[in-house]
Amino acid sequence: MFERDFKDFIRFLTIERGLSRNTADAYRRDLEDFANYLSDRNIDSFRLASRENIVDYLNFEHEERAMEPATIARRLVAIKMLFRHFEDEELIEKNPAELLDSPKLWRTLPDFLTVNEVDAFLNAYSEDGDPLELRNRTMLELLYASGLRVSELTDLRLNAVNFEDRIVRVIGKGSKTRVVPTGDVAIALLQRYITTARPILAAKNPSSPLLFLSRNGRKLDRERIWSIVKEASIIAGIRKNLHPHTLRHSFASHLLANGADLRVIQEMLGHADIGTTEIYTHVDAARLHEIHRKFHPRG
């Protein structure tokens, strides 16, 4: 059971969060100690752990093993990340680590692309290419134009796009439906993809309700989207560590930089908590500070 949890969590860290394999493995090492603690108490899955189990484990590390506070804090960070992921994926009903104090997590500002980098990135694939190239071009445009999560993109159905109103109906976390506007370029690409490329991709699976398909007509997985993003960044000559979430970060950052209301951005991103969206105010502030430092004589 623990191995299944580890595999799912490492996949989330590397694909969704874009962390390096070394960083993801460090999280695993911290969690393995907690897994051993639970196993000794006849608990065979993280998903069965209670808040009391977590608190007892942290006390055990501190009192019995005299572990350094910094190490305990790091392990708590890993535990909180694990259970937050379980909660987001609806694998547990209640997050037992939710109210536990820990150092601030994920406060490093997310990478995002400049407008020029976005242009280069989105033009990495030609809209006049073969069906797979047009599909890739369309997917990347939609990720940026509407700020979709990877899972939302792969789950999009053929009837999700309203061409007249230029909106996309998305099934987000918690199976919540939201309507997201999209741009003229994305709409034009979607129309072209659906009429010319998708019928070719769907030839082996004509009954599929999904919008984006593999060369065999199957559902695309997160790893494939990740590899497409990596390939596009190489073609565009962008040296940043890009992953699918980078386009979502760029979507929100560019909206905020151009005066969009934070509450509107929250709704479009499908964030349940405005606090999650507020990180983009820090991104924008960081951008302004960088401009000031670079161009002001006293910067």
- pLDDT for 40 equals 87
Q: Which of 57, 144, 193, 280 is catalytic?
A: 280
Q: How would you class 135 by CB atoms within 10 Å of its CB: exposed for 0-12, middle for 13-18, buried for 19 or more? A: buried
What is the per-residue pLDDT for 68? 77
- Of 84, 192, 271, 287, the active-site residue reads 271
Q: Which CATH superfamily is domain 115-292 in?
A: Intergrase catalytic core (1.10.443.10)
The question of whether 282 is a catalytic residue gets the answer no
| 173 part of the active site | yes
Backbone φ and ψ of 187, nearest 5° = -65, -45
pLDDT score recorded for residue 288: 53
Q: Which pLDDT score, from 0 to 100, does residue 72 have? A: 83
Residue 227 structure tokens = 């590899």
Backbone φ and ψ for 162, nearest 5 degrees, come out as -105, 100
CA distance 4 to 20: 20
pLDDT of residue 260: 86
The number of helix segments (H) and strand segments (E) in the chain equals 14, 3
Sequence letter at residue 285? A
Length of the chain: 299
pLDDT at 298: 54
Q: Is 27 a catalytic residue?
A: no
Q: Which of 85, 245, 249, 254 is catalytic?
A: 245
What are φ and ψ of residue 44, in 5° steps?
Answer: -105, 15
Q: Of 11, 28, 84, 173, which is the active-site residue? A: 173
Assess whether 248 carries a catalytic annotation: yes
Per-residue pLDDT, 103: 41
| Catalytic option among 149, 243, 249, 254 | 149
Q: Look up 271 and say whether it is catalytic.
A: yes
Q: Would you say 97 and 80 are in contact if contact means Cβ atoms under 8 Å apart? A: yes
Position 211, amino acid: L
Measured CA distances, 231 to 125, 180, 226 (Å): 10, 27, 9
Q: What pLDDT sits at residue 107?
A: 42
Task: Report, as ranges of residue numbers, the positions in the chain whose pLDDT lies below 50.
Answer: 102-108, 292, 296, 299
Catalytic residue among 75, 80, 248, 249: 248
Q: Supply the pLDDT for residue 271.
A: 84
